[in-house]
A and B are shown apart, each in its own frame.
Chain A
Amino acid sequence: MNFFGLIRSAVRNSLRSKTRTSLTVIAIFIGAFTLALTTAVGTGINAYIDTTVASIGAADVMTVTKPNEGTETSPGPQVYDADETVIAGEGPQGPTIALVPADISAIADVPGVRSVEPTFSVAADYVVYDGGTPYQVTIGSFVPGMALDLASGVEPDHSSSSYEVALPISYIEPLGFADADAAVGETVSIGITDADGTSSTVDAVVSGVAEEGLVSGSSLTPNDALTTQLHSLQIVGLSESARESYGSATVRFDPASTDAEIEALKGELDSIGFSGSTVSDQIGAFRTVIDAIVLVLNGFAAIALLAAGFGIVNTLLMSVQERTREIGLMKAMGMGAGKVFSLFSLEAVFIGFLGSAIGIGGAMLAGLGVNGLLAGGLLADLPGLTLIVFDPMSVLIIVLVVMGIAFLAGTIPALRAARKDPIEALRYE
């Protein structure tokens, strides 16, 4: 019997006791369905992160902060140091210490650093258009180098000296614009209060309208000139040291740097007490979290598959027992032990294939339904996010993994069948 003959026989044999086979297939179906769905959720979210956040234009930008040295060594309260200002809130590496002008020049001296700019954090009060109702607003702490997901217009021009801003799409209607296209080119006023309590406004031209994403959220994205202007208004009345302390600094380096060179630059910064992270590092942190969640979910699916594997062992052991005399007959008629082994292994693999194919098919149908529901409901505010995405490669891998598990499960019954003595088997009642 050649390979195709074996496959045909195995398929026919597994369809012979339909109830038993379908029950085992259901067990595998559950595992494969879960695995396919969780993997697809991972693929979907990561693809979304990639498209909305990581259309990275500038790969030559690094955000530098000064991590609180004590965090790692002693978890308790930190000793007060009059020279350091701890920034309220958390940086990527826990509480960070404010950068002072001396730090900025120290960073500038690091080899490989082309330029260094302190990052201003600006808190505006409101935004208003054409004397309408003012709305509360936050100024985006936008990581340089990230691209905005624009609904209309262009990104604010950072090299321009005029004030430009990108509005989030949720502000368009409340501010009194007909639609996103109508807002582009119009002038809005941003209100800000300085340390003395004096309010003032800055007029800025709307360069574009941004879709809401995971990172940009619902904040305004100003260009550099506007940020600088807002900052200079905000710091009026602050002490000298408070004026000149920054949460982080933006470092530019050679865009042609290799990963190793970027790592070396981070190492240099680290050795003088700073911590640098590129855009891809920060996106990487996102992805790590998503991947970890998906991994845990996949773990549950794997447990389901393991249980299904024992289901296969059980099914085939029963089948071998039932077909003892048939096995004896086949061996008496000259079928070798290897062929008998292959026959039962292929049966297991076929059951695995059936379960995984149906499971993935079911997951695709479920995904279609869930995506449709979410797009109109829970995720309506995040256009462009398709939660469940099936990647052909991972689908193929899932099918192969399930077939592999089925093969492993099938070896025990298949070995038992292959080792049967034809005389004993024919005598079996």
Chain B
Amino acid sequence: MPVPLLTARDVRKTYGRGPTRFDALKGVSLDINEGESVAIVGKSGSGKSTLMHLLALLDAPSTGAVELSGQDAARLSGSMLNRTRNATFGFVFQQFFLTPGESVLQNVTLPLRIAGVRGAELKRRGMAALTALDLADKAKNKATDLSGGQKQRVVIARALVNDPRVIFADEPTGNLDSATGRVVEDILFDLNRTQGITLIIVTHDEDLAARCDRRVYVRDGLVVDSLHVSALIERNAHS
């Protein structure tokens, strides 16, 4: 059995103390294998975003451990964590988080600039990511002048530009109409299939979740159900 890419071992996350104490996660264990697409499904306040933040190494669990390729993330130094996030992960957020006033190309190359890539290579890789998402002709446009679907494609190009192993998507279609949302979903699952990029999608959209290999349901800080597509097909067959 291969070592899972990401592992959560009985992670708990508590905010505040005393009477304002709030347990966002109450002991969650989860394995995510390389190349999988996983949906973390739950209502708002269920703890699904907190779980994603922990898996993305943006935050440390109060107790328990998050392992990246079998190595405890708590043992990584601050700069090593930064480098890991920069090189291994790509992020797609619901609200795009594009820098207004900067060009599409500048927005897309942000992770590369943080990594220290410069000059011609920066431009080449940025354009490659934009071409992959049919946005090459928009490279010089201001990010704010794009439509919602185009913006989300820019965000995906930005997540891709560093050739990540994992893409974290937090409600990637939440701000899009259903037709545009469908296109963005197609792009993400296509990347998962053709390039083997692991996809971790946080959503409350059942239709989107249903397209993933696996669905993890989170409620009140606990994983309440975990379904594999194969298991689902079996279950459907029996009913």
| Chain A contact residues, CB within 8 Å of chain B | 1-2, 4-5, 9, 12, 16, 325-326, 328-330, 332-337, 339, 422-423, 426
- Given A1-B116, A5-B116, A334 and B97 contact (CB-CB distance below 8 Å): no
Q: Is B133 on the interface with A (CB-CB < 8 A)?
A: no
From B28-36, B79-87, B173-181, B211-219, the one touching the partner chain is: B79-87
| A326-B99 CB under 8 A given contacts A334-B83, A335-B82, A336-B79 | yes
A128 and B59 CA atoms in complex are apart in Å by 97
Bound-state CA distance A330–B85 (Å) is 11
> Does A330 lie within 8 Å of B110, measured CB to CB?
yes
List chain A residues, Cβ under 8 A from B87. 334
Please give me the residue from chain A that is nearest to B78 by CB atom. A336
Nearest A residue (CB) for B82: A334
**Interface SS, A side:** helix
Cα–Cα distance between A101 and B7 once the two chains are bound (Å): 106
Q: Which listed residue, A4, A333, A337, A339, touches B111 by the CB 8 Å rule?
A: A333
Closest to B56 in A: A332
**Chain B interface helix/strand/loop/mixed:** helix
Q: How many A-B residue pairs have CB under 8 A?
A: 57
Q: Contact: B58 with A422, CB < 8 Å? A: yes
Which of A1, A326, A328, A333 has the most chain B CB atoms inside 10 A of its CB?
A: A333
6 A-B pairs with least C-beta separation: A334-B86, A334-B82, A334-B85, A335-B114, A329-B97, A333-B111
Cβ–Cβ < 8 Å partners of A422 in chain B: 58
Q: Is the CB of A9 within 8 A of B58?
A: no
The residue of chain A having its C-beta at the shortest distance from the C-beta of B122 within the complex is A5
Residues of B near any A CB (own CB < 8 A):
53, 56, 58-59, 78-79, 81-87, 91, 93, 95, 97, 99, 101-102, 110-111, 113-116, 118
How many whole Å from A201's CB to the nearest CB in chain B?
A: 86
A–B complex contacts, Cβ < 8 Å, 7 sampled: A1-B116, A325-B97, A332-B58, A333-B110, A333-B114, A334-B115, A335-B82
How many angstroms between the C-alpha atoms of A4 and B119 in the bound complex? 12
Tell me if B110 and A5 are in contact (CB < 8 A).
Answer: no
Instruction: Evaluate whether A423 and B58 lie within 8 angstroms (CB atoms) in the complex, with A335-B82, A336-B82 already known.
Output: yes
Asked if A333 and B53 sit within 8 Å, CB to CB, the answer is: no
Q: A333-B86, A426-B93 are in contact. List 5 more A-B contacts (CB 8 A).
A: A9-B113, A326-B97, A333-B91, A334-B85, A422-B58
Are B101 and A16 interface neighbours, CB within 8 A?
Answer: yes
CA A423 – CA B58 in complex, angstroms? Answer: 7
Most A CB contacts (10 A, CB to CB) among B56, B97, B101 go to B97
A334 and B102 CA atoms in complex are apart in Å by: 20
Give the Cβ gap from B52 to chain A, nearest Cβ, in Å. Answer: 10
- What is the distance, in angstroms, from A296's C-beta to the closest C-beta of chain B? 44
A335 / chain B contacts, CB cutoff of 8 Å: 82, 86, 114
Say whether, besides A326-B99, A333-B91, A423-B58, A2 and B82 are in contact (CB < 8 Å): no
Most chain-B CB neighbours within 10 Å: which of A332, A335, A423? A332
